[in-house]
Structure 1
Amino acid sequence: MSVINPNWNDLRIFLEVARSGTLGGAARRLKVDHSTISRHIARLEETINSPVFERDYQGLHITAKGREIVQYVEAMEADAVALSDALGGSHQEPSGSVRVGTMEGIASLYLAGEFGRLKKTHPKISVELVTTTHQMHVNQREADIFLSFFPPDGKALDVVPIGEFPLHLYAAPAYLEAHGTPVDVADLSRHEFASYVSDLIQLDTVRWLDEVVSNPSLSFQSSSMIAQLFAAMSAAGIVMLPSFAKAERFGLVPLLTGRIKVKRTIWMTVHRELQYLPRIKSVTQFLQETIARDYPLPRSAQYIRE
């Protein structure tokens, strides 16, 4: 039986096409032209004597054989990255880029202001902070670290809760002057709110207003939490925001303090085969320490590793 020995560059480019879903997307990520991508894919298919993509007027669709190969190439990629870091020597300062994926609000209103401290202790690490409205797949290398308000599913993932934050209702003084200040939770039914566009919500964990008010009257809706914050600043309505937004700095007034009991857990996801790389370990430790300082888990929290 003949030995099939695919070229690593062909496999690497195939994996990028599988992740991007298009030749153009892979070409942009790899900084090569379409013909180069096509040539490598064709050579891989010739080597294994099987198509890895089906092509039609809608684009590329990965085949069953292609999906089978992906898991092996991802493992090879993880080993190659680990080897590269190991050859750099443990005595060297952690360096390189680390991509952190998370939701827009926690990224822009909290984490972006914290990463400056990481730069002081690890100047050779470059953080790429990517915002998203859906799950980023760490095992597909869409991110090195993913922070979410839910525990993601997936193979070869290390998933741990690292913090818990409360949410509060806020309103602008101008709104309260015009509509009055709610005195209890029942009083909220006569007020207007800024919230998410319900049919555009990608993650049910952000449906936090529904836990306080049934069928709230919505005067402003947006898929962006930051847009909701600014709408509330202009007296468009009451808004529910995580404590990490620090809405008071924007002039908003907290309402019914102590009477609203809505909380969310922050989960951190890292690929098991990459979590001990010096650059990634440095960032995960920084995130754990920072979030534990500001939004610690309750003592009763269970640490889950999958």
Structure 2
Amino acid sequence: MSDPLWNLDWDDLKVFLVSVRCQSVSGAAKELKLSHSTVSRRLSRLEHVLGSALFERNRDGLFLTTFGRSVLTRAEEVVAGINNLRSELSGDGPTGGIIRFATMEGIASLYLASRLADFQASYPSVRLELLTTPRQVHISHREADMFLSFFQPHGDDMVSKKVGAFEIGLYASPGYIEQHGLPQTPDDLSKHHYVGYLDQFVELDTVRWLEELVKRPRIVFWSNSMIAQRSAARGGLGIVALPHFALAENESLVRIMPELSARRSIWITVHHDLRNLPRIVALQKYFKELFETDASYLAGEIP
């Protein structure tokens, strides 16, 4: 009797890898430009060929089984081998390939995205995919190749390194200060209005910096977006707590009580199996050097 693995279809393996990244059949179907039923059928066919379930399926999406994690490791080795072969044949070198890195919306949009051109120029064969999210990214589930966070994630399959830090201060618009006055002491802060995060959407305690700087702030505007909070404060709705990097493109906010400050470390986490890939090593090195170069700016010492 022939080995059923001879019936394994490479296209089904690609569908599997994309489904792991998207964590849903519908997401994979959209990325692959296939119908929902086609993706579902190919996953079922792959499970049949391999002889065991790859995913646990529920309303929240697809989650790898223990067997699925094992298959994922082998599938990524196959993909890495193919990418290396393509790089060698095309002359792109060993750093070629895709890196999907995830981080919070604020630092992605207001700081990192505008600073990636130098990396792309140095590594033109690397395709960068930036995923913004308000929650912890599970590297062990392969939601991304790299996670840049304000805390140290923990897990057996992950490698984390602290690569930098930034500080947060209180800001308000000149119009707000003219109408409500400039707070001078901690007691003054209790009399003012604030802009803050929607509590039910805050999954990471590390972004609760307003509450760290002001006890029981009287919030009048809530948003799950740092950019929206900044805009609301600019319009005079209230005082906002912002990382100093968020002020790069906005000079219409005034720092309030500079002695009040919160600090967050920046961590980079990658899956243990990816830690030595040349493109991953290159991007980690680039981020570390970037945060070191911008250390004073991130600390709010440079306007």
TM bucket, shorter chain: 0.7 to 0.9
- For 1:227, what is the secondary structure of its paired residue? helix
Q: Distance in 1 between matches of 2:56 and 2:182?
A: 60
Moved more, 198-207 or 32-41: 32-41
**Does structure 2 retain, via aligned residues, the 8 Å contact 1:11–1:73?**
no
Q: Match of 1:169, as an amino acid?
A: L
Q: Distance in 1 between matches of 2:56 and 2:127?
A: 37
**Does structure 2 retain, via aligned residues, the 8 Å contact 1:99–1:145?**
yes
Q: Distance in 2 between matches of 1:76 and 1:268?
A: 24
Q: Could you tell me how far 1:208 is from its partner in structure 2?
A: 0.8
Q: Match of 1:270, as an amino acid?
A: V
Distance change >3 Å, CA 282–CA 192, structure 1 → 2:
same
Q: Distance in 1 between matches of 2:122 and 2:17?
A: 34
Moved more, 32-41 or 96-105: 32-41
Report the equivalent of 2:82: 84
Distance change >3 Å, CA 157–CA 49, structure 1 → 2:
closer
Moved more, 158-167 or 267-276: 267-276
Q: Could you tell me how far 1:25 is from its partner in structure 2?
A: 2.5
Report the equivalent of 2:281: 281
Distance change >3 Å, CA 20–CA 165, structure 1 → 2:
closer
Report the equivalent of 2:207: 206
Q: Distance in 1 between matches of 2:173 and 2:156?
A: 45
Report the equivalent of 1:161: 162
Matched, 1:71 2:87: no
Q: Match of 2:110, as an amino acid?
A: L
Note the alpha carbon deviations across 1:215-255, whole angstroms, 9 max, x for none: 11112111111111001101111111012212683311111
Q: Match of 1:79, as an amino acid?
A: E
Distance change >3 Å, CA 49–CA 145, structure 1 → 2:
closer
Report the equivalent of 2:177: 176
Number of corresponding residues = 291
Moved more, 93-102 or 233-242: 93-102
Report the equivalent of 2:255: 254
Q: Could you tell me how far 1:270 is from its partner in structure 2?
A: 1.1
Q: Please give the residue correspondences for 1:227-266 in structure 2 after superposition, counting only pairs within 5 Å.
A: 227-246=228-247, 249-257=250-258, 259-266=259-266
Note the alpha carbon deviations across 1:58-103, whole angstroms, 9 max, x for none: 69776xxx61211111211332233234433498263333222100
Distance change >3 Å, CA 42–CA 109, structure 1 → 2:
closer
Distance change >3 Å, CA 35–CA 45, structure 1 → 2:
same
Q: Match of 2:93, as an amino acid?
A: Q
**Does structure 2 retain, via aligned residues, the 8 Å contact 1:82–1:274?**
no
Report the equivalent of 1:226: 227
**Does structure 2 retain, via aligned residues, the 8 Å contact 1:74–1:140?**
no
Gaps of 5+ in 2: 297-303
**Does structure 2 retain, via aligned residues, the 8 Å contact 1:14–1:41?**
yes
Q: Match of 1:216, as an amino acid?
A: P
Moved more, 47-56 or 69-78: 47-56
User: With structure 2 as the length reference, what TM-score do the two structures score?
Assistant: 0.84
Distance change >3 Å, CA 55–CA 137, structure 1 → 2:
closer
**Does structure 1 retain, via aligned residues, the 8 Å contact 2:110–2:248?**
no
Report the equivalent of 1:13: 15
Q: Match of 2:270, as an amino acid?
A: V
Q: Match of 1:70, as an amino acid?
A: G
Matched, 1:128 2:129: yes
Q: Match of 2:294, as an amino acid?
A: D
Q: Match of 1:236, as an amino acid?
A: L
Report the equivalent of 1:139: 140
Q: Could you tell me how far 1:210 is from its partner in structure 2?
A: 1.0
Q: Could you tell me how far 1:35 is from its partner in structure 2?
A: 4.3
Q: Please give the residue correspondences for 1:264-303 in structure 2 after superposition, counting only pairs within 5 Å.
A: 264-295=264-295
Alignment identity in percent? Answer: 40
Q: Distance in 2 between matches of 1:248 and 1:238?
A: 18
